[in-house]
Amino acid sequence: MASALKTAEGAIMARINTEWASATEIAWPGRRFTKPDASWIRPAVIWGDGFMQTAGPTNRNQIPGVLKIQVFGKPGNGEGEIKGYADSIRDIFNRVEFSGLRFDAPSGPKPAVERNDWLQTVVDCPFIFEEVVS
């Protein structure tokens, strides 16, 4: 059910939009984005291989995934700002459940690296999506 995955991904992006609000600009997948002169984030949902959880009257699948959020900042200012943003992202997705999604413990931010005039770190937020199949 591709529509179930699309709906689940929409729920994740809606949570980012609501909870992140005006913290930084967001580079949404598939949309044009002009990099600002300030920090910004780029979320991406990566789906894993699903498996059958139950069969019978209530057919359910479980589909694992990872929400990867890259946090970008200008180099030369240290890692403090982007690590603070990364910690805020962890708070938004730390062991929460909504819309059939169950998030586990997120990773701490990866070591910051400098690429293409930006300092970047990544937070991984693993989750399981429970899909009901008619």
Report the number of distinct structural domains present in the chain.
Answer: 1
pLDDT digits (tens, 9 = 90+) for 95-105: 999 999 999 99
Mean pLDDT of 13-42: 94
Which residue would you say has higher pLDDT here, 108 or 107? 107
Which residue range is the domain that position 53 belongs to?
Answer: 2-133
State the CATH number of the domain containing residue 120. 3.30.2000.20
Alpha carbon distance 127, 102 (integer Å):
5
Q: Is the pTM of this model over 0.75?
A: yes
Rg (CA), the chain: 16
Amino acid 18 reads: T
